[in-house]
Amino acid sequence: MLKKFLLVIITVFLVGSLTAPIVTGDNLDNRIGIGLGNPYISIKYGLSSKFSIEGRGAFGSGIFVGGARLYYNFNPEYRAVIFVGGEGDYVSFNVDDMEGFGFVAYGFLGGEYFITKRLTFNLDIGQAYIFLKENESALDEEGLEWVFNLGINYYFK
Protein backbone atom coordinates (compact mmCIF):
# COMPACT_ATOMS: atom_id res chain seq x y z
CA MET A 1 0.00 0.00 0.00
CA LEU A 2 2.77 2.39 1.07
CA LYS A 3 4.77 1.49 -2.01
CA LYS A 4 1.82 2.18 -4.34
CA PHE A 5 1.24 5.49 -2.60
CA LEU A 6 4.91 6.31 -3.00
CA LEU A 7 4.85 5.48 -6.68
CA VAL A 8 1.86 7.76 -7.28
CA ILE A 9 3.43 10.64 -5.34
CA ILE A 10 6.77 10.27 -7.12
CA THR A 11 5.02 10.23 -10.49
CA VAL A 12 3.06 13.39 -9.63
CA PHE A 13 6.29 15.09 -8.60
CA LEU A 14 8.13 14.03 -11.71
CA VAL A 15 5.33 15.19 -13.98
CA GLY A 16 4.99 18.42 -11.97
CA SER A 17 8.70 19.08 -12.16
CA LEU A 18 8.63 18.93 -15.93
CA THR A 19 5.31 20.49 -16.83
CA ALA A 20 4.07 22.81 -14.08
CA PRO A 21 4.41 26.49 -14.74
CA ILE A 22 6.42 28.79 -12.50
CA VAL A 23 4.01 30.04 -9.86
CA THR A 24 6.28 31.47 -7.18
CA GLY A 25 8.56 33.54 -9.31
CA ASP A 26 11.13 32.80 -6.63
CA ASN A 27 13.70 30.16 -6.12
CA LEU A 28 15.01 28.73 -2.87
CA ASP A 29 18.00 31.08 -2.62
CA ASN A 30 18.41 32.78 0.77
CA ARG A 31 15.03 31.62 2.06
CA ILE A 32 14.35 30.35 5.57
CA GLY A 33 11.64 27.82 6.22
CA ILE A 34 10.38 25.80 9.13
CA GLY A 35 9.13 22.27 8.67
CA LEU A 36 6.89 19.75 10.34
CA GLY A 37 6.74 16.05 9.48
CA ASN A 38 6.37 12.46 10.52
CA PRO A 39 7.42 13.16 13.28
CA TYR A 40 10.08 15.83 13.00
CA ILE A 41 10.59 19.56 13.16
CA SER A 42 13.11 21.39 11.04
CA ILE A 43 14.55 24.68 9.95
CA LYS A 44 15.78 25.03 6.39
CA TYR A 45 17.91 27.63 4.67
CA GLY A 46 18.66 28.11 1.00
CA LEU A 47 22.39 28.60 0.52
CA SER A 48 21.84 29.15 -3.18
CA SER A 49 19.19 28.23 -5.68
CA LYS A 50 20.72 24.78 -5.94
CA PHE A 51 21.80 24.02 -2.38
CA SER A 52 19.90 24.09 0.89
CA ILE A 53 20.79 23.05 4.43
CA GLU A 54 18.45 21.95 7.15
CA GLY A 55 18.59 21.19 10.86
CA ARG A 56 16.23 18.44 11.99
CA GLY A 57 14.97 16.95 15.21
CA ALA A 58 12.80 13.84 15.30
CA PHE A 59 11.09 12.49 18.40
CA GLY A 60 9.59 9.16 19.30
CA SER A 61 8.72 7.43 22.54
CA GLY A 62 12.05 7.59 24.38
CA ILE A 63 13.94 8.28 21.14
CA PHE A 64 15.55 11.50 19.97
CA VAL A 65 17.21 11.99 16.60
CA GLY A 66 18.96 15.25 15.80
CA GLY A 67 21.06 16.19 12.80
CA ALA A 68 21.53 18.10 9.60
CA ARG A 69 20.71 17.71 5.94
CA LEU A 70 22.20 19.00 2.73
CA TYR A 71 19.98 19.26 -0.36
CA TYR A 72 20.83 19.61 -4.00
CA ASN A 73 17.86 20.99 -5.96
CA PHE A 74 17.70 20.04 -9.59
CA ASN A 75 15.06 22.56 -10.69
CA PRO A 76 14.51 25.25 -8.04
CA GLU A 77 12.63 27.54 -10.40
CA TYR A 78 9.78 25.05 -10.75
CA ARG A 79 6.71 24.49 -8.67
CA ALA A 80 7.76 20.89 -7.99
CA VAL A 81 11.40 20.88 -7.01
CA ILE A 82 13.22 17.58 -7.21
CA PHE A 83 16.18 17.08 -4.93
CA VAL A 84 18.75 14.60 -3.70
CA GLY A 85 20.59 14.92 -0.44
CA GLY A 86 22.31 13.48 2.56
CA GLU A 87 21.58 13.55 6.26
CA GLY A 88 23.66 12.81 9.35
CA ASP A 89 22.07 12.37 12.79
CA TYR A 90 22.94 11.62 16.34
CA VAL A 91 20.52 9.24 18.08
CA SER A 92 19.84 8.78 21.76
CA PHE A 93 17.31 6.37 23.20
CA ASN A 94 15.97 5.47 26.61
CA VAL A 95 13.19 2.92 26.29
CA ASP A 96 11.83 0.55 28.96
CA ASP A 97 14.83 -1.63 29.63
CA MET A 98 17.47 -0.02 27.42
CA GLU A 99 19.45 3.14 27.10
CA GLY A 100 21.98 4.01 24.45
CA PHE A 101 23.06 6.11 21.54
CA GLY A 102 23.97 5.89 17.88
CA PHE A 103 23.96 7.62 14.54
CA VAL A 104 22.16 7.64 11.24
CA ALA A 105 23.53 8.38 7.77
CA TYR A 106 20.77 8.82 5.23
CA GLY A 107 20.90 9.36 1.48
CA PHE A 108 17.66 10.37 -0.16
CA LEU A 109 15.78 11.40 -3.27
CA GLY A 110 12.69 13.55 -2.98
CA GLY A 111 10.61 16.50 -3.98
CA GLU A 112 9.12 19.69 -2.63
CA TYR A 113 5.86 20.99 -4.07
CA PHE A 114 4.98 24.68 -3.70
CA ILE A 115 1.30 24.78 -2.74
CA THR A 116 1.62 28.54 -2.33
CA LYS A 117 4.61 30.87 -2.45
CA ARG A 118 5.32 30.13 1.23
CA LEU A 119 3.84 26.70 1.90
CA THR A 120 5.28 23.50 0.48
CA PHE A 121 4.59 19.83 0.74
CA ASN A 122 7.67 17.61 0.66
CA LEU A 123 8.67 14.00 0.68
CA ASP A 124 11.77 11.93 0.34
CA ILE A 125 12.79 8.30 0.26
CA GLY A 126 16.16 6.69 0.68
CA GLN A 127 18.36 4.29 2.54
CA ALA A 128 19.47 4.99 6.07
CA TYR A 129 22.46 3.33 7.67
CA ILE A 130 21.61 3.05 11.35
CA PHE A 131 24.05 2.18 14.13
CA LEU A 132 22.88 1.83 17.73
CA LYS A 133 24.77 0.88 20.87
CA GLU A 134 23.25 -0.07 24.20
CA ASN A 135 25.05 1.37 27.21
CA GLU A 136 24.71 -1.39 29.80
CA SER A 137 25.56 -4.40 27.64
CA ALA A 138 27.68 -2.57 25.04
CA LEU A 139 25.79 -4.60 22.42
CA ASP A 140 25.28 -2.88 19.10
CA GLU A 141 23.01 -3.20 16.11
CA GLU A 142 23.53 -1.78 12.65
CA GLY A 143 22.19 -2.01 9.15
CA LEU A 144 20.54 -0.36 6.18
CA GLU A 145 16.84 0.48 6.25
CA TRP A 146 14.52 2.09 3.72
CA VAL A 147 12.97 5.27 5.07
CA PHE A 148 10.20 7.45 3.69
CA ASN A 149 9.51 10.97 5.01
CA LEU A 150 6.57 13.32 4.54
CA GLY A 151 6.20 16.87 5.74
CA ILE A 152 5.34 20.50 5.09
CA ASN A 153 7.56 23.57 5.03
CA TYR A 154 6.63 27.19 5.63
CA TYR A 155 8.99 29.82 4.18
CA PHE A 156 9.20 33.23 5.77
CA LYS A 157 10.47 34.97 2.70
Partner 1 sequence: MLKRKDTMKNKKIGLLITFSIIVSLLVPSLRGAVIHFGVIRAIEEKIDKLREKKDPYRNLPDISTFRSQKSDRFIADIGDIARGHPYKGRRANLPHQGAHIHFDSTQWPKGGGDPDNYPAIYACVDGVVSKLDYSFRYGDKNQYYIDIAFARDSAGSVYYLHHSIEPMIAEPSENFYRQFVLVSLGQEVRKGDVMAYMYTPLVAGSACHICFHIKRIDKEGFMAPALFTLPVVQGYHDRWSGDGFDGADDIPPCMGYKLEADENPFGTGAVDILW
Q: Residues interacting with partner 1, by CB under 8 A?
A: 2-3, 6, 10, 14, 17-18, 37-40, 58-60, 63, 65, 74-75, 82, 84, 89, 91, 93, 95, 97-98, 100, 102, 104, 106, 109, 125, 128, 130, 132, 134, 137, 139-143, 145-150
Minimum CB separation of residue 85 from partner 1 in Å reads 13
Nearer to partner 1, 28 or 65 (CB): 65
Nearer to partner 1, 116 or 129 (CB): 129
Which class for 50: exposed (0-12), middle (13-18), buried (19 or more C-beta within 10 A)? middle
Non-local CB neighbours of 153 within 8 Å, separated by 6+ positions: 33, 34, 35, 42, 44, 112, 119, 120, 122
Q: What is the CA radius of gyration of the chain?
A: 17
To 10 degrees, the CA torsion angle through 126, 33, 20, 75? -60
Minimum CB separation of residue 120 from partner 1 in Å reads 18
Minimum CB separation of residue 129 from partner 1 in Å reads 10
